[in-house]
C-alpha cells in the first residue's frame, strides 16, 4: 500500500536555502519513472509491486491519479511523443496512441519492438527520445557479473517504428536513467556497478557518450574506471575503456537523471544534472538522495553535491528517490517508490521556507 499523505516524510526532507519541498502527489503505488504529456498529464511507471502505469492530473491544487496501463509486467520505461505514450516492458516496447484524450478508456497498444533478449536480472527498461528523433533503451546485463551475450549490457537506439536498431554504447551493466545535453545533444547515463566485492567498491557511474557506437564503458572487465574485475578482468586494463564522467558513490544505485532546463532555479543550476540516488540494498550504511552534478563549459563534471536529502532517518529508509522531472514552470518533481509519492521542489528565494508537508 502507498504511504498515506499525512505520514509521508516530506517535513523531514532537506533542500538548500531558498528552496521548498512539498508533497505533489500521493497514492501512486511504487512510483518510478516520469514523463509529461503535451497537455500536462504526468505519466508515472511502476516496477515490482504495482505493474501499472499511472496518469496524474493536476486539478488546481490537488492531483487525481488514474491507472492507464494495468497488469503489465515491469512497465518501468515510459516516454511521450506526438500524442502517444510509449511503455517498455523487459521484452517489448508498446505505444498507446492519443493517450491524453483517452485516459479513461486507453486504446489497445501497438507493439513497436519485441526483440529484447530475455533476462530475469536488470531486464527492466527506461525510454527516452533523443534529439536525433530516435528512441533509446538499455539492455542490462543478465547477471551481477558475467560476460554477457551479444546484444546485452548496452544502450540501443531505434527509429520510432522500432526499425533500424543500433548500439550506442557497450559495456553498460545496468543503466536506469539517461538524458541528452541541451547544449551538445550528447547522451549521458547513470550505470550501476557490480555487487559482492566490498561495501566501498565499485563506485557507481555517470557516463558521457561522445562517440555513439564506438565506446565501451568497461563491464564486466573494469568498474568505476578504477578497478579491474577480480573474476573477469585478467589481462585487461581500465585504460582500454571509456572512463566515467563522474563517480556517484559505492552502491549508490543512481537511477533517473535529468538536465535542468528550467528557469525557476538560480542560474548556477542551468544545464546541471539532477540524479536520483536510490540507495544501496546490500550495504550496511544506507544513503539516498537527489544529487546535482555541475558541469563546466567543456562539459566536464566539476562537482557532485547532495541536493534533496533526508530519505534516511536513524539508519532506516523513510523514502527512496527514483526519478526526477523538470516541470514547465521550472520546478523539479521527484518520485519515491518506497512511499508511492511524488515531491515537488521549487525555488522561493533566499530566506524562503525549505519544507512544506
> Contact at 8 Å (CB) between 64 and 42?
no
CA 173 to chain centre: 15
**What is the chain's alpha carbon radius of gyration, rounded to the nearest angstrom?**
19
- As a whole number, the mean pLDDT across the chain is 95
| pLDDT, mean of residues 62-73 | 95
DSSP 95-164: EETTGGG-SSSPPPPEEEE--PPP-SSS-----EE-TTSPEEEEE--SSSS--PPTT-SEEEEE-TTS-S
- Reading phi first (left if > 0) and then psi (alpha if -120 to 50, else beta), residue 128 is in beta
| The model's pTM | 0.96
Q: Give CA–CA dist 199/241, Å, rounded.
A: 24
DSSP 262-320: -SSS-GGGTT-EEEEE---SS-SS---EEEEEEE-TTS-EEEEEEEEB--EETTEES--
Q: Give CA–CA dist 79/45, Å, rounded.
A: 10
Residue with cell 562517440: 211
**C-alpha cell of residue 131:** 534529439
pLDDT in tens, 297-337: 999 999 999 999 999 999 999 999 999 999 999 999 999 99
CB within 8 A of 61, min separation 6: which ones? none
Report pLDDT for 300: 97
In the structure, what pLDDT confidence band is assigned to residue 353 with cuts at 50, 70 and 90?
very low
Q: Give CA–CA dist 37/85, Å, rounded.
A: 8
Q: Give CA–CA dist 304/13, Å, rounded.
A: 19
| pLDDT, mean of residues 138-167 | 96
In this predicted structure, the answer to whether residue 350 has a pLDDT above a threshold of 70 is yes
In this predicted structure, the answer to whether residue 21 has a pLDDT above a threshold of 90 is yes
Q: Tell me how long the chain is.
A: 357
> Contact at 8 Å (CB) between 333 and 58?
no
Burial 41-80 (b: 16+ CB within 10 A, else e): bbbbbbbeebbbbbbbbeeeeebebeebbeebebbbbbbb
In this predicted structure, the answer to whether residue 257 has a pLDDT above a threshold of 70 is yes
> Contact at 8 Å (CB) between 311 and 318?
yes
In this predicted structure, the answer to whether residue 354 has a pLDDT above a threshold of 50 is no
Q: How far is CA 280 from CA 77, 253, 255, 292, in A?
A: 21, 6, 12, 18
In the structure, what pLDDT confidence band is assigned to residue 162 with cuts at 50, 70 and 90?
very high
| pLDDT, mean of residues 58-78 | 94
Report pLDDT for 355: 44
Amino acid at each position: 500500500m502507498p504511504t498515506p499523505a499525512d505520514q509521508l516524510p516530506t517535513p523531514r526532507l532537506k533542500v538548500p536555502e531558498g528552496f521548498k519541498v512539498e508533497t505533489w502527489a500521493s497514492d501512486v503505488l511504487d512510483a518510478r519513472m516520469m514523463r509529461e504529456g503535451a497537455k500536462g498529464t504526468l505519466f508515472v511507471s511502476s516496477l515490482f509491486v504495482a505493474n501499472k502505469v499511472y496518469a496524474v492530473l493536476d486539478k488546481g491544487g490537488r492531483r487525481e491519479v488514474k491507472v492507464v496501463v494495468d497488469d503489465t509486467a515491469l512497465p518501468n520505461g515510459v516516454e511521450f511523443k506526438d500524442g502517444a505514450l510509449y511503455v517498455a516492458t523487459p521484452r517489448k516496447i508498446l505505444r498507446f496512441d492519443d493517450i491524453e484524450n483517452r485516459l479513461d478508456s486507453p486504446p489497445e497498444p501497438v507493439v513497436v519492438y519485441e526483440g529484447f533478449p530475455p533476462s530475469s536480472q536488470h531486464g527492466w527498461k527506461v525510454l527516452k527520445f533523443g534529439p536525433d528523433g530516435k528512441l533509446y533503451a538499455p539492455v542490462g546485463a543478465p547477471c551481477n557479473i558475467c560476460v554477457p551475450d551479444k546484444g546485452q549490457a548496452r544502450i540501443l537506439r531505434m527509429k520510432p517504428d522500432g526499425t533500424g536498431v543500433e548500439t550506442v554504447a557497450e559495456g553498460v551493466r545496468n543503466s536506469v536513467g539517461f538524458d541528452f545535453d541541451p547544449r551538445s545533444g550528447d547522451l549521458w547515463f547513470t550505470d550501476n556497478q557490480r555487487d559482492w566485492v566490498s561495501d566501498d567498491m565499485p563506485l557507481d557511474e555517470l557516463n558521457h557518450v561522445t562517440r555513439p557506437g564506438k565506446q565501451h564503458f568497461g563491464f564486466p572487465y573494469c568498474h568505476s574506471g578504477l578497478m579491474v574485475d577480480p573474476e573477469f578482468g585478467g589481462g585487461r586494463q581500465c585504460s582500454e575503456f571509456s572512463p566515467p564522467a563522474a563517480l556517484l558513490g559505492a552502491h549508490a544505485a543512481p537511477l533517473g537523471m535529468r538536465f535542468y532546463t528550467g528557469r525557476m532555479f538560480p542560474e548556477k543550476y542551468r544545464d546541471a544534472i539532477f540524479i536520483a540516488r536510490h540507495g544501496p540494498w546490500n550495504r550496511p550504511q544506507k544513503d539516498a538522495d537527489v544529487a546535482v552534478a555541475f558541469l563546466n563549459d567543456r562539459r566536464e563534471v566539476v562537482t557532485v553535491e547532495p541536493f534533496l536529502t533526508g530519505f534516511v532517518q536513524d539508519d532506516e529508509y523513510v523514502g527512496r528517490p527514483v526519478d526526477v522531472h523538470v516541470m514547465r514552470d521550472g520546478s523539479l518533481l521527484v518520485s519515491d517508490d518506497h512511499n508511492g509519492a511524488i515531491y515537488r521542489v521549487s525555488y522561493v528565494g533566499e530566506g524562503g521556507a525549505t519544507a512544506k508537508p
